[in-house]
Amino acid sequence: MNFLDRLEGLSKRFDEIEISLAQTSGVFDQDRFTALVKERAALEETVETYRSFRRVQGELTSSEALLVRERDQDMRAMIEEETHSLRQQRDELEERLEILMLPKDPNDDKDIFIEIRAGAGGDEASLFAAELLRMYVRYAESLGLRGEIISTSESESGGYKEVIVAIKGGSAYHYFKYESGVHRVQRVPVTESQGRVHTSTATVAVLPEAEDVDIEINPKDLQVDTFKSSGAGGQHVNKTESAIRITHVPTGLIAASQQERSQLQNRERAMTMLRSLLLDQKRREADEALGSLRRSQVGTGDRSEKIRTYNFPQDRITDHRINQSFQNIRTILEGAMDRIVNALQRDEQARLLAGTALTN
C-alpha cells in the first residue's frame, strides 16, 4: 500500500467515525464513544491536510490541462501564475503529510511526571533545580497545561535537592520528552565572593504517566510508610502524617507524595508515580536488551547523558544533541522554551524522515 492509499484509508475511517458518533439510537456505550472521540481527534489534522492536498492536486491538474490548450498569451500568463501557486501549495501540503504520517510516539498524548534532582555543585545545584522547575511549570502554563507539585526535598539555600512535578492536561510528553538527562549550568554563584564561574548540574527524568493496564503491581511487594509533610498547610501538616512513601521492594524504586491533605489522596498519587517509574524501568531494560534505546527520541534520554549547558556569562543555552545554541537565558528560564523544543522536534522529524526514506 503506497502513501496516498494509506491516506485514503484514513479518510474513509474518519468518515466512518463521524457516522458512528452521529448515531443516537441504541444503548449508549461510554467506553466506545470515548475511544471513537480520541481516534477522531488523532486523525483529524492528517485527514484535513490530505483532503486539502487532494483538492489542490485536482485544481492543479485542471490548470495544467488548461495551460496546454490556451493560446492567448495574456491568459497563459495568468494560468501559469496560478499553476505555479498551486504547485507550491501541493508541495507544502505533501511535506506536511509526510511529517503527519511519521510513526508517532505512543506516549505523546500522556500526562507526565518530571523528576528534578540537584547534582554536582551543592547549594548552587539545588538552586538550579528550582529554576528548572519554574521553567517547566511556566512552559506548561503557556501550552495550556498545568503543573502540580507531588513531592519536594528542599535545601537550606531555598532550592531543591529533589522535586517531582506532574504536568497534566494532555500531550505533555510530546513537549517535554526531550528534557531527560543532565542539565549543566555555568555561572557565578551568589555565594561566590571572588566572581569565579562555577559549573553545577541537575538531572531530569521525564516519565509518561502509566495506566493500571500498563503495569501490574503485586500489593505484597509494597512497603508503605507515612511521614509529616514539609509543604504548606500550617498546623494541619505539623500534627498529621498525611504524606505517603511507597517502596517497591523487588526493585527498590520509591515514590512519595506529600502535597495532598489526606493519606488516601497522597497514596493514589504515589501509586501513579510508582507505576510510571516501573514502566520506565521496564522500557529501559527492553531497550538495553535490544542493544539500543528508543530511536524516536533525540539522544538516549538517559539521566547520565549531558544534554544541555546553560552558560550565563555568554547568555547562551546550548543543546548538545543538535549542536545548536539559543540566546537570552533569562527569557527561556521564564518558560519561553518554544525555540528549543521546536528545534528538537524538527531534528527528530528529519531523522525519522531519513529513516523512512532508507526503508522505502
Residue 202 backbone dihedrals phi, psi, to 5 degrees: -140, 145
Q: What is the pLDDT along the chain (360 residues), one digit of tens a residue?
A: 477 888 999 999 999 999 998 887 778 888 888 889 988 988 999 999 999 999 999 999 999 999 999 888 999 999 999 999 999 999 999 989 988 888 888 888 889 999 999 998 888 999 999 999 999 999 999 999 999 998 888 988 889 999 999 999 888 999 999 999 999 999 998 767 677 899 999 999 999 888 766 678 888 888 988 887 654 444 344 445 788 889 999 989 888 888 777 888 888 888 888 888 888 888 777 666 545 433 333 444 445 578 999 999 999 999 999 999 999 999 999 999 999 999 999 999 888 887 765 455
Query: Which residue's C-alpha cell is 564561574?
Result: 197
**In the structure grid, which three cell numbers stand for residue 135, read together?**
521553567
Buried b (16+ CB within 10 A) or exposed e, 151-167: bbbebebebbbbbbbbb
- How many angstroms separate the Cα of 22 from the Cα of each of 18, 41, 54, 140, 299? 6, 15, 25, 34, 44
Task: Measure the CA angle with vertex 23, ends 110 and 26; round to 5°.
Answer: 100
**Which residues lie across from 72 on neighbouring strands?**
none
**In the structure grid, which three cell numbers stand for residue 166, read together?**
506532574
| pTM for the full predicted model | 0.74
Q: Identify the helix (H) or strand (E) that includes residue 8.
A: helix 3-22
